[in-house]
Amino acid sequence: MERRQKSHLTVRIYYEDTDCGGVVYYANYLRYFERARTEYLRERGADLGSWAEQGIYFVVSRVEIDYKAPARYSDLLEIETAVTGLSKASITFSHSVRDQNGQLIADSIVILVCVSGGRPRRIPEEIIVVL
């Protein structure tokens, strides 16, 4: 797939994001990735809320995260997001996280499945065109 449009989201690490060792708690990256995907879509004029009103939802079916280095309190992280795969019913997003010095913190792949009525469905064309 040749789609490589990218989006960038900056996240400041607060005390609440860290564990007792002062390192970002590993599960918080899932929250950051969710924000980054939402902003990726928002930048392209897509609104998850309007799709939900039509009964169309995207659910996470798979996540892979490779943690490369720790992020700590007060760090400024930049999350780069891109769509790297698309099938009839799923979208694959990639996320790369770097700190303010450009050090790679984490890489991730997240697969979302389009569902309606609790069952997988084909992604509508009006959604595909904004990706």
Mean pLDDT throughout 98-117? 98
Instruction: Give the list of residues 6+ apart from residue 8 with CB closer than 8 angstroms, or none.
Output: 78, 79, 80, 81
Q: In which band, very low, low, confident or very high, does the pLDDT at 48 lie, cut at 50, 70 and 90?
A: confident
**Single-letter amino acid, residue 63:** V
Q: Can you give the residue range of the structural domain that contains 62?
A: 6-128
Q: Let me know if residue 11 belongs to a domain.
A: yes
Q: In which band, very low, low, confident or very high, does the pLDDT at 62 lie, cut at 50, 70 and 90?
A: very high
Q: Let me know if residue 56 belongs to a domain.
A: yes
Q: How far is CA 77 from the centre of its chain?
A: 14
For the chain, helix (H) and strand (E) counts, in that order, are 3, 6
Q: In which band, very low, low, confident or very high, does the pLDDT at 4 lie, cut at 50, 70 and 90?
A: low
Q: How far is CA 7 from the centre of its chain?
A: 10
User: Which residue in 78, 111, 80 sits closest to 93, CA to CA?
Assistant: 111
Mean pLDDT throughout 78-87? 97
Give yes or no: 19 in active site: yes
Q: Let me know if residue 67 belongs to a domain.
A: yes
Task: Count structural domains, the chain.
Answer: 1
What is the length of the chain? 131
Q: Let me know if residue 80 belongs to a domain.
A: yes
Q: In which band, very low, low, confident or very high, does the pLDDT at 47 lie, cut at 50, 70 and 90?
A: confident
Q: Let me know if residue 64 belongs to a domain.
A: yes
Q: In which band, very low, low, confident or very high, does the pLDDT at 5 lie, cut at 50, 70 and 90?
A: confident
Q: Let me know if residue 1 belongs to a domain.
A: no
Q: What is the pLDDT of residue 112?
A: 98
Q: Let me know if residue 14 belongs to a domain.
A: yes
CATH for 15: 3.10.129.10
User: Which has the higher per-residue pLDDT, 94 or 2?
Assistant: 94
Catalytic, out of 17, 19, 47, 75: 19
